[in-house]
């Protein structure tokens, strides 16, 4: 979503490692100082994971490294000031953490990729819409074969996906070539690895698909 102006129609949506979500009107960032300004209050061992620009009425998918995901409407997150820390978005287990947040396009699918090179696509409609603060549902099975989840992307069939490994290997594959299966599954091999791990994914957006 492009930034047209710093007005009441646009928001920044923040998500942290420990599952907090914060929405702040974009107008509060219209006069930044040279040294920067506080955007969110981070407490304890928490970390900022991702920030999305939003018009304030979208549905989002938030996912964790242990294979859980939650679909919620951002209208459930009240707008707050720059110095606030946000509210609970997803309830995180002791050994888990948030790895990403994506717009939930009902005509798209959620791509989930694990560190050992496996992944899958699942229709967004398979994730029921719930209020923020829940534990989420199973998104992908995380086991010894798959490892932990490293990223999610909302994709359409015409998009392409780039996978990047810790050792500097990159591959590019059409999204339509990735199997579309249910939530409670392991997925299929996307990238063959030898003493390596996937550390990042990126979407190569089709010309008629403007969601980033």
Put the strands of the sheet holding 48-54 in their side by side order: 48-54, 11-16, 20-25, 87-88
- The pLDDT-based confidence of 36 (bands split at 50, 70, 90) is confident
- The pLDDT-based confidence of 207 (bands split at 50, 70, 90) is low
Average pLDDT of the residues of the chain: 91
What are the pLDDT digits (tens) for 77-106?
999 998 899 999 999 998 999 999 999 998
Residue 124 CB coordination number (10 Å):
20
Give the model's pLDDT for residue 7: 56
State how far the Cα of 63 lies from the Cα of 119, in Å rounded to an integer: 14
pTM equals 0.88
Residue 3 has pLDDT above 80, yes or no: no
H/E stretch holding 198 reads strand 198-204
What are the pLDDT digits (tens) for 146-169?
999 999 999 999 999 999 999 999
Among the listed residues 123, 140, 11, the one whose alpha carbon sits nearest the alpha carbon of residue 63: 140
């Amino acid at each position: 979503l492009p930034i047209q102006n710093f007005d009441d129609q646009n928001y920044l949506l923040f998500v942290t490692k420990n599952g907090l979500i914060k929405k702040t009107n974009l107008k509060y960032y219209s006069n930044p100082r040279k040294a920067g300004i506080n955007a969110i209050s981070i407490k304890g061992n928490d970390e900022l994971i991702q920030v999305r620009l939003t018009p304030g009425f979208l549905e989002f998918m938030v996912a964790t490294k242990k294979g859980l995901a939650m679909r919620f409407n951002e209208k459930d997150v009240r707008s707050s000031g720059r110095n606030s820390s946000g509210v609970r978005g997803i309830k995180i287990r002791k050994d888990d953490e948030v790895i990403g947040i994506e717009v939930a396009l009902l005509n798209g699918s959620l791509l989930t990729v694990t560190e050992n090179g496996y992944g899958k696509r699942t229709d967004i409609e398979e994730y029921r819409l719930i209020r923020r603060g829940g534990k989420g549902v199973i998104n992908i099975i995380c086991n010894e074969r798959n490892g932990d989840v490293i990223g999610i992307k909302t994709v359409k069939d015409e998009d392409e996906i780039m996978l990047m490994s810790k050792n500097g290997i990159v591959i590019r594959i059409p999204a339509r070539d990735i199997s579309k299966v249910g939530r409670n599954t392991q997925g299929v091999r996307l990238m063959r690895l030898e003493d390596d791990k996937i550390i990042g994914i990126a979407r190569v957006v089709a010309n008629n698909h403007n969601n980033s």
